[in-house]
Amino acid sequence: MTDLATPPLAAPAAATAAPLGMLSPTALYEQVAERLRQQIFARELEPGSWIDEMKLCAQWGISRTPMREALKVLAVEGLVTMKVRRGAYVTEMSQDDVAQVYHLLALLESDAAAQVAAQATAEQRAQLQELHAQLEMQVGQRDAFFATNERFHIALLDIAGNRWAVQVVQDLRKMMKLNRHHSLFKQGRLEDSLAEHRTLMQALSARDAEAARQTMQAHFRSGLEAAAG
């Protein structure tokens, strides 16, 4: 049975061997994981809620095997918690969890900001300036601002050049989206965040590594205060 509102996921690749050029680019369980991930981020599956595997399998026209594999992926990412004999639940963030995530993000991203201030090329600075200009235009559009803000922070890490930091931060940012009181949800926080970004851009333009580090740390302290409210 297939829910018309949610089209069935693509069928898995045939079991028979095929030339490399014909292999499916995405395994079925990965498609299922991404759909679940987006439902979690959109709060269609609320933090703390039980994931009804059978219902979703029926809606999406899939067997339980790709569903179970997808849930394992999300469990590794921390988005899903598996409970013995009870099934899978959307992870719920405690205040301590939120504080620990922000602490790690502040360490990794402030270090990246200092490196970028000291080492970035003119082209790389222009890339960040373009993203910042988008934030200036999107301050009245929360969802667009949120997406561009994330692109800015990942671009900063990419420029710093530590791929391990990029991977860790991407996982931590997924966890941030589980918080019911995400910092950018708070009234006035978008404007405050934008002002902090302006200060950061000034430090980057001045090639002041220490100012960039301190500004990014302050940015996350303010974000934690808003997220904990």
Do residues 55 and 6 lie in contact, with contact meaning Cβ atoms separated by under 8 Å?
no
List pLDDT tens digits, range 49-79.
Answer: 999 999 999 999 999 999 999 999 999 989 9
HSE-up of residue 9 (Cα within 13 Å, Cβ side): 24
Between CA 116 and CA 160 the distance in angstroms is: 6
Do residues 182 and 190 lie in contact, with contact meaning Cβ atoms separated by under 8 Å?
no
Q: Give me the pLDDT at residue 21, please.
A: 43
Between CA 50 and CA 44 the distance in angstroms is: 12
Q: Give me the pLDDT at residue 14, please.
A: 41
10: confidence class by pLDDT, cuts 50, 70, 90:
low
List pLDDT tens digits, range 122-168.
Answer: 999 999 999 999 999 998 888 899 899 999 999 999 999 999 999 99
- Residue 202, both tokens: 């000034």
Ordered by start, the domain boundaries in the chain are 20-90, 95-227
Q: Give me the pLDDT at residue 226, please.
A: 85
List pLDDT tens digits, range 187-222.
Answer: 778 899 999 999 999 999 999 999 999 999 999 999
Between CA 118 and CA 71 the distance in angstroms is: 42
Q: Give me the pLDDT at residue 19, please.
A: 44
The yes/no answer on whether domain 95-227 falls in CATH 1.20.120.530 is yes
Range 40-46 average pLDDT: 90
Q: Which fold has domain 20-90?
A: Arc Repressor Mutant, subunit A (1.10.10)
